[in-house]
Every structure is written in structure tokens, then in C-alpha cells.
Structure 1
Amino acid sequence: MDRFIEMLRNISPEVYQSLKQAVELGKWPDGRKLSREQKAMCLQAMIAWEADNLPEEQRTGYMGKAECASKSQPDPAAELYHPANGSLH
């Protein structure tokens, strides 16, 4: 693990961009397809590099502090379970 961390510290912004593009496209710049293992390793490297080099809001997977948009909308099914006005139930 120490070797992996040391390697991450030596990644240049250009290498980071190359890894990011490879993950986005699913292939290396020369056209070879990324294997699942390569994609997983690239993602790990990207996320670790971003943690040391980018502000939180620019990192992969950042969702912000706001709630999910679906939580701000009323649930139409919830009305089915509300008792009617004047009901004793």
C-alpha cells in the first residue's frame, strides 16, 4: 500500500487527466480497452489524487450538501394514507 500511495504522490495533472479520460471512455489513449481491474485501479488512483489535489466540490462523486431533489417533492402516495376530513379512522 505504501508503494501505491507513493506512486499517487508522483502523478502529474497530465497523467491524472489521462487516467480520467481512460475511465470515461473505457479505453487507453492507444485504443486498447480497459479491463475491469484496470478501471478499478484507475478510479482508485483518481479518487486518491483528487483528495490531495482538488477542492471537495471538484472531486469525482461530489454531490454537494443539498438534499436529493426527490426529497423536496411531496410523495403523492402519502395522501392515500391520510384520513379524510371528518373521518374517525
Structure 2
Amino acid sequence: MNVIELVDNMSEEMYLRLKHAAETGKWPEGTPVEQAQRDSAMQLSMAYQARKLDSDQMLTIGSDGEIVHKSKAELKQQFKKSSVARQDSTDASKTSDNIARFTDL
């Protein structure tokens, strides 16, 4: 089985385990990962991101197999959009019933 077939048949749970091992040097249950295992886990995680995840997040692997890089202006624009969307959703959920009230101590 080659790497492409392996990644195509990999479950999301396995991807998350491999990603955790590559990031921390330990398996999720706490067993240490050898350097060769960590290198393989990193390669498989990157291949999974490229093949299955459609992410445009900074420093992830894009569908073209390249690391996603963004300029400072692009990141500012992205964060501005997400903060505006978050602000709109919190404004909509605020009503007079949701105000915290404190008594004098």
C-alpha cells in the first residue's frame, strides 16, 4: 500500500492521533513517540491535510500540497471579518434578560 492509498483510507480519528503525536512527541495516551515515528506521523498528517482537508488557514497544507502562507494584510482582513461576525452574533443574542445583575455586598 502506498502513501496515497493509506491517506485515502485513513479515518479522521487516526489523523488526529498522528497529528497529536507529531505535535507533542507523545501518543494521546502518553506513550513517547520515537523520532522516526514522529517524522512519519508528520508526513502522514501533512498528506492527510492536503488530500482531505480543504483549509485556507495559515500554515496548513493546501489542496495543492503547498503550505498556506498569507500576507499581514490578508490576515488582518480575515481577523476583521471573523471579529465582525462574532460581534454581530453576540449583539443579536443580547437582550435585557441576559444582563448580569449584582447586589450590593
| TM bucket normalised to smaller | 0.5 to 0.7
Return the offset for 1:62: 3.2
TM-score scaled by length of structure 1: 0.61
How far apart in 2 are the matches of 1:4 and 1:36? 19
How far apart in 1 are the matches of 2:3 and 2:24? 24
Give the counterpart letter for 2:15 in structure 1. Y
Residue 9 of structure 1 corresponds to 8
TM-score scaled by length of structure 2: 0.53
Name the SS of the counterpart of 1:29 in structure 2: coil
Residue 62 of structure 1 corresponds to 68
Give the counterpart letter for 1:9 in structure 2. D
How far apart in 2 are the matches of 1:25 and 1:34? 9
Number of aligned positions between the proteins: 66
Name the SS of the counterpart of 1:31 in structure 2: coil
Residue 37 of structure 1 corresponds to 36
The answer on 1:20 being equivalent to 2:19 is: yes
Name the SS of the counterpart of 1:57 in structure 2: coil
Please, what is the CA RMSD of the aligned residues? 2.2
Among the aligned pairs, what percent are the same residue? 32
Give the counterpart letter for 2:34 in structure 1. S
Q: Which runs of 4+ in 1 moved over 4 A?
A: none
Instruction: Point out the structure with max Rg over C-alpha.
Output: 1
How far apart in 1 are the matches of 2:39 and 2:55? 21
Residue 77 of structure 2 corresponds to none
